[in-house]
Chains A and B, each alone.
Chain A
């Protein structure tokens, strides 16, 4: 029924099966919508957040999806500025993933601020001394950039492309893409870094505080590096999952290999700097303010295992796999490395937000535990279902994989 809308030369499942798939995805999505409406209608007491944990699952997830979305700006940077032409075959898909990630970040923030009607206050009553204000500016602007990058993909739909103006507009947008990608790189660099800067400047919390360069704590640079190390891995992971569902190869192996190799080197570089930062923080920064490292890991579940898991299992292991040619060419191992890398970024963001707040800072402070409730889980997982719907629709109706026809001749 919708065959006229499907790109030429490719095969898609029947519309009824597609409708069933979208219907299934809508069920958990609606549960998340109920959770969001509860928060907006009855206030944030519907969650397990409290004065000890004003930054909780939502903010950790927010920072996580923004880091995963770094694949969009970084692949754009590699394609349009470094001129790695092979990445042309995956850059469209990274834009789709980026739009989903940043829409998710903004959506979660809209729930987290409790009163979305006052969301514009951050622009109008901007606190120009706050890194979070800079983050809000940058992610809003970068979301616009991603939408501008997504528009030509929509205009290339088989039916829309028949009209002369959308065709010409799409063509002109493509011509401007290197400049638009450069704006995206500028914005992403600053908000990825500033997200790391937020915990790094908390001098009242020795667990999070770091020294740094000029106004930027070391976490500023670590967050940028970790984001560009994991973004390409998330792109690979989602591409592979899409290939599993589509039951066909969509991107050539050499394209995936380039991204995996770059990600591996960046992850290795990040790990070296992260370990150096941790050693300096434990031996100097925290020690100088009378906060022994043992006190940071004295409260379970935030024990030393957290640090070992984050740096070792979710850092060193994927880095080794991504840097070893034979391991990288093994598809299940590559998937495992990407999964570990992406999980590691979420764990890092969780530690820098939730664990930072969990560690007591005063002698009379007690440790309070925190477990997200169903409202927080349902709303946090919403982007997963919404993202799957957007990817499904984009895959079905838009030419996002230029190599698909060549790899799967009809």
Chain B
């Protein structure tokens, strides 16, 4: 549900509930993109690092 959906209400419950969902999704999106961009740079710069376990 987005804020422009007809069911949306501008109350704290909607902001907290849906806001938490979108916050988590945005965080995961940023993590994956950050890793992807850094990996691309490593690849282009031919930087080779061992795995950290």
Contact = CB atoms under 8 A, between A and B. Distances in A.
B28 A125 contact: no
Nearest to A179: B31
Interface in A101-145: 123-126, 128-129, 133-134, 137, 141, 144-145
A128 B42 contact: no
A126 B24 contact: no
A170 B14 CA distance: 37
A309 B49 CA distance: 53
Interface string B26-53: 0110011011101110110011111111
A126 B1 contact: yes
Nearest to B11: A128
Contacts of B39: 165, 168-169, 171-172
Contacts of B42: 164, 168, 171-172
Interface in A84-108: 88, 92
A176 interface: yes
Nearest to B24: A141
B51 A125 contact: no
B36 A169 contact: yes
A148 B32 contact: yes
A171 B53 contact: no
Nearest to B35: A172
A312 interface: no
B28 A141 contact: yes
A172 B40 CA distance: 10
B13 to A, nearest CB: 5
Interface in A26-74: none
Given A126-B18, A183-B24, A187-B24, A168 B52 contact: no
B interface, size bucket: 20 to 34
Interface string B1-37: 1000101000001100110110011011001101110
B25 to A, nearest CB: 7
A128 B28 contact: no
B35 A125 contact: no
B18 A145 contact: no
A173 interface: yes
Interface centre among A124, A173, A179, A183 (most CB of B within 10 A): A173
A252 interface: no
A176 B53 contact: no
A402 B31 contact: no
Contacts of B31: 148, 176, 179-180, 183
A126 B17 contact: yes
Given A137-B21, A187-B24, A167 B48 contact: yes
Nearest to B9: A128
A300 interface: no
Contact of B40 (A137, A165, A179, A186): A165
B33 to A, nearest CB: 11
A175 interface: yes
A172 B34 CA distance: 9
A156 interface: yes
Nearest to B27: A183
Interface of A: 88, 92, 123-126, 128-129, 133-134, 137, 141, 144-145, 148, 156, 164-165, 167-176, 179-180, 183, 186-187, 402
Given A141-B28, A183-B31, 12 more contacts: A125-B1, A164-B46, A164-B48, A167-B48, A168-B43, A169-B36, A169-B39, A171-B50, A171-B52, A172-B34, A183-B24, A183-B27
